[in-house]
Amino acid sequence: MTDASQLGFANLPFLAHRKSVKKGFEFTLMVVGESGLGKSTLVQSLFLTNFFGNKNNPPAIERISQTVSIDATTVDIEEKGVKLRLTVVDTPGFGDAVNNTQCWQPVIDYVNEKYEQYLRDESGLNRRNIEDHRVHCCLYFINPIGHGLKPLDIEFMKQLHHLVNIIPVIAKADTLTAPELKKLKLRVMQEIRDNGIQVYTGEGDDDDEAEFRELRESMPFSIVGSNTLLEVNGKRVRGRLYPWGVVEVENKDHCDFVKLRNMLIRTHMQDLKDYTQDMHYENFRKKKLIEGSPGHHSMANVVTAAVSGGPDKTMVAKEREMDELRRQMAMLQAQLAAQQNTV
């Protein structure tokens, strides 16, 4: 089983340079998807793994009930003096209701609320000690029973992909044979491309290309979750017991759980955070800036006037120019801020 010392997040080169070493690292992962796909079980599987510190107390078999509200759990992990504060946000599944339109709204509200809070803190007096509760990664659970994505999956991901890093996962992968899983993975990625959904693939430069290739090839990760410890060949493993054998959560031949966990905690944590800051949060901030600017309302009035036949087209053009200038200013400010942060 994984031990804290094997995780290795403390050895990552990026940590050596960053002020965040002292302060600790903050990372938030969210799970989203249809009801009953094993989101809460995965959250538990992640938390109960040894690297979260509770080495000596194997979990009791726990009955997980249906999640009814968005629920965030935080643990502090320390490795070689480097602190990681990991928060996992569990969300109630959707799909049970007769009408599922807008079922993504609570998730979107949660993500935006955290951006809002960060923006407020950033413009406050105590800028140095801001806590980062922004969602850095969203695992989107796909039903293994079916031939690919459902219309609701496509719609949900489209609503989310400009807000947060999405990583698609195939839930309950133990219900599929190896060829079925392979076929479903290809199908899902094809549908994601066909629908213009942008899932997280990392920014990858030459140095870490192999890592990013592995990430892309593994996607969507196949997941098995369980809270039960079983004895296999004299070792205690987390798994699911069937009449024909045991599916082991942490066995790489059985599913991608370990790959996914390593990717999140080790290889791509910083990249996921950077992407959240530079793309998703920046988009949110710019939108807020434009909404809050005095030009925004007059722009709305001018557009209304123009649409209703008003002749003032030059005004519209001027306002557009102003908006573009504002946008460029915001980008410059963001670049400056990013440079200051990396010094």
Ligand X SMILES: Nc1nc2c(ncn2[C@@H]2O[C@H](COP(=O)(O)OP(=O)(O)OP(=O)(O)O)[C@@H](O)[C@H]2O)c(=O)[nH]1
Binding interface with ligand X (CB under 6 A): 35-41, 64, 66-67, 92-93, 172, 174-175, 224-225, 240
HEC sequence for 141-192: EECCCCCCCCHHHHHHHHHHCCCCCEEEEECCHHHCCHHHHHHHHHHHHHHH
Q: Virtual CA dihedral for 195, 197, 202, 204, nearest 10 degrees?
A: 40
- The DSSP symbol for 117 reads H
By the rule CB under 5 A, 72 interacts with Mg ion = no
Q: From the list ligand X, Mg ion, none, pick the one residue 185 interacts with, judged by a Cβ distance below 5 to 8 Å according to partner type.
A: none
Residue from 2, 20, 50, 67 touching Mg ion (CB under 5 A): that is 67
Q: Virtual CA dihedral for 229, 232, 236, 241, nearest 10 degrees?
A: 0
Of 33-41, 49-57, 148-156, 268-276: span binding Mg ion (CB under 5 A): 33-41
- Min dist CB 236 to ligand X, Å, is 18
DSSP labels, 224-240:
-----EEEETTEEEEEE
- Min dist CB 225 to ligand X, Å, is 4
- Min dist CB 331 to ligand X, Å, is 39
Distance CA 331, CA 61 (A): 51
From residue 234, alpha-carbon distances to 173, 230, 231 in Å are: 25, 10, 6
Q: Which is nearer to Mg ion, 67 or 117 (CB)?
A: 67
* Packed helices 282-292 and 294-307: angle between N→C axes, nearest 10 degrees: 70
- Min dist CB 254 to ligand X, Å, is 10
Element (H, E) at 163: none
By the rule CB under 5 A, 227 interacts with Mg ion = no
- Min dist CB 265 to ligand X, Å, is 20
- Min dist CB 256 to ligand X, Å, is 12
Residue from 10, 37, 40, 94 touching Mg ion (CB under 5 A): that is 40
Q: Which is nearer to ligand X, 249 or 272 (CB)?
A: 249
Q: From the list ligand X, Mg ion, none, pick the one residue 28 interacts with, judged by a Cβ distance below 5 to 8 Å according to partner type.
A: none
DSSP labels, 40-64:
HHHHHHHHHSGGGS-TT-PPPP-PP
Distance CA 342, CA 30 (A): 27
By the rule CB under 5 A, 41 interacts with Mg ion = no
By the rule CB under 5 A, 262 interacts with Mg ion = no
Q: Which is nearer to ligand X, 41 or 276 (CB)?
A: 41
Q: Which residues bind Mg ion (CB under 5 A)?
A: 39-40, 67
